[in-house]
Amino acid sequence: MAGQLYDSREIQTLVFRVKSGDQQAFALLIRATEGLVTQILFKMVPDHEDRRDLAQDVYLKVFRSLPGFRQDAKFSTWVGKIAYNTAVNYLRKKKLVLSDPSLKDGEGAATATQWAGDFPAIDLVLQRRELTATIQEALSRLAPLQRTLITLYHQEEQSYEDMAVITGLPIGTLKSYLFRARKALKEILINQFKLEPI
């Protein structure tokens, strides 16, 4: 998982300290959660300078909203939700696409009878560096929402429940989007290596 993990009691103590007026404790809260925020912004915001500005905006919003934060909620998920909403607002302002319109709700799993005919055999002897570069490239071709979902699940190891809180999507929709995004990655990987059909 990206970023450092802190004991939830230590985080609660830090939140309590910030709420009590100890601003220095906020720097530790930033360091505890900036990995997740950075991942979300990198997957949703294309411009490097804008990402830096938005990252600061996210934490200023977190600081201002902290008095309303309930201690029973998970702090990192709450911060992730603020980061996600900030990025969505940015995309709206810039008139950029959040999600691939072809990924509709309810377009469930294809059965093997649908895929067996065009599924290529894959050479599994790929060098890791080549594989990682290919996945990185494939990921960049997905829509921001799909990139973010993939990253939250596979790199940040967020649960479906936490991802639902962060993105505001119902879990069923989220699973459907994630399925499509993974499938798209698989297809890009297959095409990239020009694999022969079975």
Partner 1 sequence: MIKQHLSEELLQRYAMEGISLDGADLLHLQQCTACQQLAETYQLVQTGLVHLAQPSLDMDLAAAVMAQLPASKPTSEKALAVVLVLVVLALAACIGISIQLDFSFLQSGTGPIVSGLIGLTAVGCLVFMLVSSWQDFHHKINQLNKGNLQPSNGAAV
Positions in 83-102 near partner 1 (CB under 8 A) = none
Which is nearer to partner 1, 169 or 184 (by Cβ)?
Answer: 184
Give the whole-angstrom CA distance, residue 100 versus residue 85. Answer: 18
134 binds partner 1 (CB under 8 A): yes
Give me Rg for the CA atoms of the chain.
19
How many residues are recorded in the chain? 198
Beta carbons within 10 angstroms of residue 148's beta carbon: 30
100/82 Cα distance (integer angstroms):
22
Residues 47-76 binding partner 1 (CB under 8 A) are: 51-52, 55-56, 59-60, 63, 74-76
Q: Which stretch binds partner 1 (CB under 8 A): 7-15, 82-90, 92-100, 165-173?
A: 7-15
20 by DSSP, 3-state: which? coil
Kindly state whether residue 116 participates in binding partner 1, applying the rule CB under 8 A. Answer: yes
**Per CB under 8 A, 126 contacts partner 1:** yes
| Only segment of 37-45, 65-73, 83-91, 93-101 that touches partner 1 (CB under 8 A) | 37-45
- We find the least distance from the C-beta atom of residue 115 to partner 1, in angstroms, to be 6
HSE (side-chain half, CA atoms, 13 Å) at 42: 13
Cβ atoms of 184 and 142 within 8 Å: the answer is: yes
Q: Smallest distance from the beta carbon of 101 to partner 1, in angstroms?
A: 21
Residue 15's CB: how many other CB atoms inside 10 A?
A: 18
Query: At a CB cut-off of 8 Å and minimum separation 6, what does 156 contact?
Result: 1, 2, 3, 35, 36, 39
- State in angstroms the smallest separation of the CB of 22 from partner 1: 6
Least distance (Å) between residue 194 CB and partner 1: 14
| Piece in contact with partner 1 (CB under 8 A), picked from 82-90, 95-103, 112-120, 166-174 | 112-120
The single residue among 72, 113, 127, 194 that binds partner 1, judged by CB under 8 A, is 113
Q: For the segment 139-178, give every residue that binds partner 1 (CB under 8 A).
A: 139, 150, 154-155
Our CB check for partner 1 shows the closer of 56 and 89 to be 56
Closest CA to 93 of 45, 142, 41, 149: 45
